[in-house]
Each structure stands twice: as structure tokens, then as C-alpha cells.
């Protein structure tokens, strides 16, 4: 699901991550894999929305989101968000080798080009 191109400076997303009591912005590579382990649940929806937009901008349509196994609370939040997002074509539990029930693979819709020819 990864892009074959190495991430450039433009292919990163700044996110607030709590590191030892410090909410410092950290760059997240836009490579089609997002690990949510270090993010508090209240930040997940905004982070997912921004990450999906960044993946679409980078033309990455296959994404893997690692939510962890735990009690299922984070998985349920992620699934609920993905089911409402208009850019998500489909999603399913990741195969065993990609995280199994601790991750979800997502297929994003190909962005439609903007038509500016004046037709309606």
C-alpha cells in the first residue's frame, strides 16, 4: 500500500502529538500508513481527515491505518469515521500480514478533476 516514491518535504503532515507532556507538532510522512498508537482519541477524526486529504494530494489511494487491537474503542471510532467520509470508497480489516484486526485497509476514491469549461 506504500507509494514507491520516498516522501518529500511536501509529503508530510504536521500533527500534534503528546510526547512526555509536550504537545509538539511532529511531521507525519504521507506514505499511505498511519499509526494512531501515540494519538489521543479526541484528535483522531481531525487527524484522519487531514491524512486522507494529504494522501489524495499525493495520489495515494491505498491507505493502511493502524488503530491497535486493545478493546476495540479506537477501531470503532476509525470505522465510524471512514463510513462517513466521502473520499473513502471502501475499507476492511487488514490482512494478517498487515496488522490483522489491529489495522484497517482503506481504498480512497480517485479525485475528480475540476471541470472549468462552463458546462452545467
- Tell me the pLDDT tens digit for each residue of 29-82: 899 999 999 898 899 999 999 999 999 999 999 999 999 999 999 999 999 999
More confident of the two residues 47 and 13: 47
| Boundaries of domain holding 62 | 9-108
Give domain status of residue 71, yes or no. yes
Specify the CATH number for the domain of residue 42. 3.30.1370.110
Q: What whole-number distance in Å separates Cα of residue 58 and Cα of residue 51? A: 10
Q: Write down the pTM of the prediction.
A: 0.76
Give domain status of residue 4, yes or no. no
Q: What whole-number distance in Å separates Cα of residue 101 and Cα of residue 67? A: 9
Q: In DSSP terms, which residues pair with 103 in a beta bridge?
A: 66
**The pLDDT of residue 79:** 98
Amino acid at each position: 500500500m506504500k507509494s514507491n516514491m520516498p516522501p518529500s518535504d511536501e509529503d508530510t503532515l504536521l500533527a500534534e502529538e503528546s510526547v512526555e507532556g509536550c504537545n509538539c507538532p511532529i511531521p507525519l510522512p504521507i506514505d499511505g500508513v498511519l499509526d494512531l498508537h501515540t494519538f489521543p482519541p479526541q484528535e483522531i477524526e481531525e487527524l484522519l481527515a487531514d491524512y486522507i486529504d494529504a494522501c489524495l494530494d499525493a495520489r495515494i489511494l491505498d491507505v493502511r491505518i493502524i488503530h491497535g487491537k486493545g478493546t476495540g474503542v479506537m477501531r470503532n471510532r476509525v470505522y465510524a469515521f471512514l463510513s462517513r467520509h466521502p473520499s473513502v470508497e471502501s475499507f476492511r480489516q487488514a490482512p494478517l500480514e498487515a496488522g490483522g484486526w489491529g489495522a484497517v485497509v482503506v481504498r480512497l476514491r480517485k479525485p475528480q478533476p475540476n471541470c472549468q469549461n462552463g458546462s452545467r
